[in-house]
Structure 1
Amino acid sequence: MKRTIKKVAVIGSGIMGSGIACHFANIGVEVLLLDIVPRELTEAEAKKGLTLESKIVRNRLVNEHLANSLKSKPSPIYSQKFASRITTGNTTDDMAKIATVDWIIEVVVERLDIKKMVFEQIEKFRKPGTLVTSNTSGIPIHFMSEGRSEDFQKHFCGTHFFNPARYLKLFEIIPGPQTATEVLDFLTDYGSKFLGKTSVVAKDTPAFIGNRIGIYGIQSLFHLVKEMGLTIEEVDKLTGPVIGRPKSATFRTVDVVGLDTLVHVANGIYENCPNDEQHELFKLPDFVNKMMENKWLGSKTGQGFYKKVDKDILSLDLDTLEYRAAKKASFATLELTKTIDKPIDRFKVLVKGKDKAGEFYRKSFSGMFAYVSNRIPEISDELYKIDDAMKAGFGWENGPFEIWDAIGVEKGIEIMKAEGLEPAAWVTEMLASGSTSFYSIKEGATFFYNIPTKSQTKVPGQDAFIILNNIRESKKVWSNSGAIIQDLGDGILNLEFQSKMNTIGGDVLQAINKAIDLSEKEYQGLVIGNQAANFSVGANIGMIFMMAVEQEYDELNMAIKMFQDTMMRVRYSGIPVVVAPHGMTFGGGCEMSLHADKVVAAAETYMGLVEFGVGVIPGGGGSKEMALRAADLFHKNDVELNVLQEYFLTIAMAKVSTSGYEAFDTGLLQQGKDIIVVNKDRQIAEAKKHALLMAEAGYTQPIRRSDVKVLGKQALGMFLVGTDQMEAGKYISEHDKKIANKLAYVMAGGDLSEPTLVTEQYLLDLEREAFLSLCTERKTLERIQFMLTKGKPLRN
């Protein structure tokens, strides 16, 4: 049967419940969020003469929880206006309203007796066929549905979102004894397509997949840190970005999540997995017990493994349990990996290390490899699900089996044996059968070793995706040092940047022009997209800095003109160009999006023209384009200056959208033209689809604009008065004012005596002249140098 989700009810409005409610609101679903009625009045309520019967009081808990969630950073919602999709209520007065919803999600406290009471209440009002799921992180699903009707049990299972629900992609689906197959299929598809998640069907075992492996990893490090005499800074250095893990690594992550949360799950595994070969490892070390006694739970209590005192971050000494100044950690082995860009290519080097770091990696990886191999078939029949869970739930770039493959399966077994460990029997059987790796790439798809069939089987669900890693070499059409062009099929090319942080320099500009040349001659359209952490952090400012310092202004002028001309080619080519931004899309990356025929942005796109931070204005057509977009919004009897001012402020305040949806509010994306994709994995496929649609509909090369209305002196005067006042009020520095005035001159179209229609090229020339003049300023060079060395803007 066809099932659609128009409205959901979320029961329980704590951090997790409110986060889940916000994420459903993010994707356009109507949400009913319920929580219990308070038992007593607050002082403030009593003073106002309110009673326990007042609606304000009865809905106080749910409204406070939701308000706190909406104020939290990072925000759980793509745009604050989406919060209007959430209606609040309480479980006493409003439970009957669940009869109108399509999916009921229980997110109450982790106690089986309370959950069972909630389900009993739900069954009184739920209409037959409605999905009911529990967001539990560890309570066995089969206990929860005991005593419920056949229809309830058929439509019931666990759906474990990871916190924060917007950002962490893992969506574990745990069937109960009677869960219908069509319910599991529907939730798997819905999680991927609509919620933007990595859906993983898990077995009903303690802590499911993600937390079982993740908590093992953290607990093993807790024991290893003592055994090897490491500091918490050293462990965080070894387990962070160098191995493709989040910057918060291990101990900072525990502080953010809360030590009590970790302890709760670890205790659950210890109590419920007596036959786990690493059972004793889940026993909490003494320092954790002491921290629990002291209520040093992390960020929520102001101290955990780290503690902030004034501006200093102190670290906990695990031997003395006293805080001390942080110590810088460095290892010779890590130095050897500095020239290796991708974490997956570093593992071979790391396990060969001759220092403490090498020993640490051999011990921790060998333990992890043995553990995950022994969890099959206990927690999953397929090894790829374990990797998917760790990548989506814990932010690992590579899962344990992928890391093992990178080191070499036989090499992995060798380091395990050196530590007195053995892999599960199926691993040695795999090698004996002639399969030398857990994964293989064939015909642009990923295959995994299927244990029962002893053969490589295609990972399901890939058909909706285009995975660039799988086609990078086999479908390569052309490449240089900064980019690669691949054939996506059906006459569509893809241009993937491969420079550091995907910066745009001469090689990338050459690749854009080459991709357009090829597309115009032999193909139907072009996608500009990649699957790195960020789309592009903008122009290569190191190159600009060198030219400016050497006072090579003719060369710099040529470089800026090449950038502008390339962006204009993106706009005015003979084929549709679709840009697919995600993550950080700054400066030149943003300018490229502004010039596309269509933008297919990921929901998690942080887009902005941030050039003010390095002392210049957008010089790749961004200043021109914002003036043009403002002009296109001028209507008869409009206060045109107000429209232009909004677009001016987007650049002058270096506004960065906190989501793709917010980029519509700042004018960087356009309603009716650009679209958002919630699941980033589907982005390239979606961009290809739109490029093909435009090509097949009969794409016509656009005509260059010569009708851009600029306001001249009228606008320039307003902007100059504004910047004077901002400087006088000490809101901006003298140099900020100089940059803003240069931008004002460009966006006003110069000091023309009256509103005039001009060409895009006229505005581009003004923009380039302003950019170039700012590059001659000492304070601009100081800003660029500071950004290059410190990675953050300087205010001078």
Structure 2
Amino acid sequence: MKRSINKVAVLGSGIMGSRIACHFANIGVEVLLLDIAPKELSPEEQAKGLTLEKPAVKNRIVNTALQTAIKSNPSPVYSKKVVNKIKTGNFDDDMSKIAGYDWVIEVVVENLDIKKKVFEQVEQYRKAGTLITSNTSGIPIHLMAEGRSDDFKAHFCGTHFFNPPRYLKLLEIIPTPYTQPEIVDFLMHYGDKFLGKTTVLCKDTPAFIANRVGVYSIMALLHLVEKLDLTVEEVDKFTGPALGRPKSATFRTSDVVGLDTMIKVAKGLYDNCPNDKAHELFKLPAYVQKMEENKWLGDKTKQGFYKKTKSADGKTEILALDLKTLEYKPQQKVKSATLEMTKPVENLRERMKIFAKGKDKAGELFRHSSFGLFEYVSDRIPEISDELYRIDDAMRAGFGWELGPFELWDAVGVKEAIEGMEQYGNKAATWVQEMLEAGNTAFYKVENGTKKYYDIPSKSYKAVPGTDEFIILDNLRENKTLWKNSGVSIIDLGDGILNVEFHTKMNTIGGDVISGINKAIDMAEKDYRGLVIGNDGANFSAGANVGMIFMMAVEQEWDELNMAIRMFQNTSMRIRYSSIPVVVAPHNLTLGGGCEFSLHADHVQLSAETYMGLVEFGVGVIPGGGGTKEFALRASDEYRDDQIVQNALKDRFLTIGMAKVSTSGYEAYELGYLQKDKFSISMNRNRLLADAKAKAIELADAGYTKPVQRNDIKVLGKQGLGIVYAGANSMYSGHYISEHDKKISEKLGYVMCGGDLSAPTEVTEQYLLDLEREAFLSLAGERKSLERIQSIITKGKPLRN
């Protein structure tokens, strides 16, 4: 049966329900969000003389929850416009409407009796064949299906989203013995392709996969803190980005999520897993019990492992909890020889080897926690999963680990880790020893560009399912790299398409990246059909290498800087005017030069989570790689005889002048960084490069021809300049901008208006590029611009001087 999802009903509008509803609206699905009707009037409703039967009262709970979600930060929606796809209602009046919906998701309170009552009501109205799932993190899924009809059971399973649903990529699918296999297959595919999730098939065991392993890992660490005499600051320093974990590390994450949430799952695991070898670890350490009694639960109670206060001089100060005295104290700087040794090592797997050999507290914590984790996950097979890759997928997508437990084990070395584990009192499961004895030295290997995992029942390696639809550059780099320098690699994606990948720090753009892109275009024009500019880094690009610009400006090497900017501009123009289609595939941070490359692409295939912007104003200059020219060109294309043309110019001017950065791929279109019919969005980041390659092939197959440079760009000259200068002067007079901001604004306006031409005139792209470069160079020579650049380089913060 062909199944499509056009309308989804979400039952329960709490933190999870409202945000799940928002994410379905993000992907264009019509959503009905329902909750209970209030049992009593609020004081405001009483004052207005309202009754419990009034629709405004009956829908108060659901409407308040939805508005709270929409206003939350980070936002659960890609754009404010998507909220229009959500209708609200209450269980009493509107449950019958679910008959017209394709998928009903229950997200009510974690209480089996309440859930069963909701399902009774659902079954009265649900149409046969409609999907019905529960979002639960602790209640066994099969218990919820008891007493339901055969059709309900056949179409019912667990779908465990992680909070916040927009940002955390894990979706656990938990079937019951009654769930039809085709329903499971559909949800696995739909979650991946349309919701942008890493879908992981789970068994109906306590806490499923991610929380079972993740909460074990946290609880083990909470006990280790006492054993190894570690501070809150030390643990968060040792278990954060250096280890390939989120910046919030361990204790800060606990504060954000809520200590009560973690305690609840830990207690559930203690009660429901009596035979777990790590059973006693799920008991709370004494200091956590005391924090629970004190209601120090994290951000929601204003204090947890950290507490934000004001110092005597009124400055905000974040204190850390002393776990011995349970008093808050100023944070202490953490020093570690092991961490210092890892700093210059970009390759995460190589960093793990350094941690494993560390002689200080960081190394000791790593060995204790990792060896315990290795024992735990190897023992959980086949209890929670038959395949080891599912555990890694769940931990990467649900907890933000760059390496899952088995990938981490591979990085340390399976044999080497087992030897270390024995010294620390840990023992790997028998199947791991058997794997090694059979001559298999790792849990994963790459063969012919395909990642394979060790399959325990067959004692052989099998391809990780579903990854054949992804392009993972790590798997291709060894055999498909055609050319490389210090900043880029050019990789053959097959089917006549090349990929140019950045691998500088933060994927910043300097001379090596510029030369690499030009080399890739040369190669593609000669022997291939198209080019993709994309990478697997944490960010697409943080923009131009400002350190290089700063050094040239300080040394007053104006000819060299002029040449560097010209090369940047020429590369942007070459991306647009090459004889082969160029598809840029941005994701996450896509700032400055990364944005400018996207502006000039034949097509932009971007991740839904793309934060794109021209942010040069913040470092005291204007976009100099073709961005200012391109916004002038796009403003020109928006001029209409029946409209005030200055409005289009003003909108484009303010986007650059306010350094607006999109909060999603969709908003990048609303801000004018993307053009209609010249961009597509990949919901699942894992599919981004494959989608970009497919687009390059599509453009080539359609008979791609080289575009012609524009010579019909209408600029307003003095007519536009007067408005720009008056606006900048007004903002400066009102103390909204500094004198230097005013100067940058006037330079920006000068370029976008085509200079001080006496009348509106049509000019060429090159004319605007020359103006853009001159303005950039003159601003780069200003002391205040150099101060701004220096602030970014040394402090990582913009300076408004």
1:600 aligns with 605
- Report what 2:142 is aligned to: 142
Shift of 1:427: 0.2
- Structure 2 distance, partners of 1:407, 1:283, is 29
Question: 1-side partners of 2:137 and 2:349: how far apart?
Answer: 29
Does residue 1:366 correspond to 2:371, yes or no?
yes
Amino acid at match of 2:649: L
Alignment partner, residue 298 of structure 1 = 298
2:153 equivalent in structure 1:
153
**For 1:478-511, what per-residue CA distance to the aligned partner results, in whole angstroms no more than 9, with x for missing partners?**
1101000001011000000011110000000000
Shift of 1:696: 1.1
1:355 aligns with 2:339: no
How far did 1:433 drift? 1.2
- Report SS of the residue matched to 1:486: strand
Counterpart-to-counterpart distance in 2, 1:330 and 1:182: 54
| 1:790 alignment partner AA | K
Partner of 2:67: 67
Partner-residue secondary structure (3-state), 2:458: coil
Verify: 1:529 aligned to 2:518, yes or no: no
Runs of 4+ in 1 over 3 A off after TM superposition: none
Corresponding residue of 1:209: 209
**Deviation (angstroms), 1:434:** 1.3
Residue 712 of structure 1 and its aligned partner are, at CA, apart by 0.5
Q: Give the deviation of 1:76 after TM superposition.
A: 0.3
Instruction: Kindly state the Cα deviation for residue 344 of structure 1 after the two structures are TM-superposed.
Output: 2.0
Give 2:521's match in structure 1, choosing from 497, 516, 526: 516
**Equivalent position of 1:426 in the other structure:** 431
Match of 1:623 in 2: 628
Q: Distance in 2 between matches of 1:511 and 1:177?
A: 54
What amino acid maps onto 1:794 in structure 2?
Answer: L
Residue 359 of structure 1 and its aligned partner are, at CA, apart by 1.1
Match of 1:382 among 374, 379, 387: 387
The residue aligned with 1:21 is 21
Query: How many residue pairs get matched?
Result: 796
Amino acid at match of 1:749: G
- After superposition, the C-alpha distances for 1:442-475 in whole angstroms (9 at most, x for unaligned) are 1111100000000011110012111111001211
Paired AA for residue 699 in structure 1: Y
What is the identity, as a one-letter code, of the residue corresponding to 1:67?
Answer: Q
Q: For residue 260 of structure 2, what is the aligned residue in structure 1? A: 260
Query: In the alignment, what sits opposite 1:636?
Result: 641
Is this contact kept in 2: 1:191–1:199, CA < 8 A?
A: yes
TM-score w.r.t. length of structure 1: 1.00
Q: Distance in 2 between the 1:478 and 1:343 partners?
A: 23
Which residue of the partner structure matches residue 246 of structure 1?
A: 246
- The aligned residue for residue 107 of structure 2 is 107
For 1:164, give the aligned amino acid: P
Q: Distance in 2 between matches of 1:137 and 1:532?
A: 31
Between the aligned partners of 2:334 and 2:489, the Cα distance in structure 1 is 36
Who is 2:313 aligned against? none
Shift of 1:342: 2.5
The answer as to 2:350 corresponding to 1:345 is yes
1:492/1:525 contact within 8 Å kept: yes
Alignment of 1:676-695 (within 5 A): 676-695=681-700
* Matched residue, 2:309: 309
2:486 alignment partner, SS class:
coil
The 5 Å alignment of 1:123-138 reads 123-138=123-138
**Cα distance in structure 1, aligned partners of 2:236 and 2:517:** 39
Residues 155 and 179 of structure 1 are in contact (CA less than 8 Å); yes or no, is this contact kept in structure 2?
yes
C-alpha contact 1:243 1:344 (8 A) present in aligned 2: no
- Give structure 2 stretches of 5+ with no counterpart: 311-315
Q: Which amino acid aligns with 2:467?
A: Q
Q: 2:374 and 2:584 mapped to 1: Cα distance?
A: 39
Question: Residues of 2 paired with 1:368 and 1:731: CA distance?
Answer: 54
Counterpart residue type for residue 639 of structure 1? I
What is the CA deviation profile of residues 223-246 of structure 1, one whole-angstrom value per residue up to 9, with x for unaligned ones? 000111100110000000001111
| 1:597 CA drift (Å) | 0.3
Letter in 1 for 2:327: E
Deviations 1:680-735 (A, max 9, x none): 11010111011111111111111111000000001000000000010011100000
> Residue 507 of structure 2 aligns to which amino acid in structure 1?
N
Following the alignment from structure 1 to structure 2, what is the Cα–Cα distance between the partners of residues 719 and 586? 24
**Residue type at the aligned position of 2:288:** V
- Give the Cα–Cα distance (whole angstroms) in 1 for the partners of residues 43 and 595 of structure 2: 51
Distance between the aligned counterparts of 1:695 and 1:473, measured in 2? 27
Q: Helix, strand or coil for the counterpart of 1:94?
A: helix
* Amino acid of the structure 2 residue aligned with 1:291: M
Secondary structure of the corresponding residue to residue 81 of structure 1: helix
Aligned-partner Cα distance in 2 for 1:537–1:345:
24
- Mapped to 2, the partners of 1:110 and 1:331 lie a distance apart of 43
Q: 1:335 aligns with which of 328, 337, 340?
A: 340
1:290, CA displacement in angstroms?
1.1
Kindly provide the amino acid, as one letter, of the partner of residue 643 in structure 2: D
The 2-side partners of 1:683 and 1:247 are apart by 24
SS in 1 for 2:13: coil
1:318 equivalenced with 2:315 (yes/no): no
Aligned to 2:479, the other structure's residue is in SS state coil
d(CA) in 2 for partners of 1:120, 1:261:
28
SS of residue paired to 1:477:
strand
Partner of 1:743: 748
- Once the two structures are TM-superposed, the CA of residue 289 in structure 1 deviates from its matched residue by 1.2
Aligned to 1:89: 89
What is the DSSP-based 3-state SS (H/G/I as helix, E as strand, rest coil) of the residue aligned with 2:709? coil
Residue 289 of structure 1: aligned partner: 289
Q: Which residue of 2 aligns with 1:462?
A: 467
Shift, 1:675, TM fit: 1.2
Corresponding position of 2:272: 272
> Aligned AA for 2:574?
R
Distance in 1 (alpha carbons) for counterparts of 2:149 and 2:731: 67
Q: Contact 1:173–1:202 (CA<8 Å) still a contact in 2?
A: yes
Paired AA for residue 687 in structure 2: R
Counterpart secondary structure, 1:93 = helix
Matched, 1:554 2:559: yes
**RMSD of equivalent CA atoms:** 0.6
SS in 1 for 2:421: helix
1:764 paired residue number: 769
| Whole-angstrom distance in 1 between the partners of 2:2 and 2:439 | 44
Query: Corresponding residue for 1:723?
Result: 728
Show CA shifts across 1:175-218 (max 9, x none): 11201100100000000000000000000000000000000000
| Alpha-carbon separation, structure 2, partners of 1:399 and 1:30 | 35
Q: Which amino acid aligns with 2:69?
A: S
Match of 1:346, SS state, is helix
- The residue type equivalent to 1:64 in the other structure is T
For the Cα contact (< 8 Å) 1:710–1:748, is it kept in 2?
Answer: yes
Letter in 2 for 1:785: Q
1:391 paired to 2:396: yes
> Is 1:576 aligned to 2:571, yes or no?
no
Selected match of 2:591 from 586, 590, 596: 586
Q: Secondary structure at the match of 2:357?
A: coil
Aligned to 1:170: 170
Once residues 488 and 430 of structure 1 are traced to their aligned partners in structure 2, the CA distance between those partners, rounded to angstroms, is 33
Separation in 1, partners of 2:145, 2:226: 43
Matched residue SS, 1:172: strand
Could you tell me which amino acid in structure 1 is paired with residue 198 of structure 2? T
**2:485 pairs with 1:480:** yes
Letter in 2 for 1:652: G
- Taking the aligned partners of 2:289 and 2:362, their CA distance within structure 1 comes to 27
Q: Secondary structure at the match of 1:568?
A: helix
Letter of the 1:382 counterpart: E
Name the counterpart of 1:672: 677
* C-alpha distance in structure 2 between counterparts of 1:237 and 1:131, whole Å: 44
Q: Separation in 2 of the partners of 1:437 and 1:363? A: 21
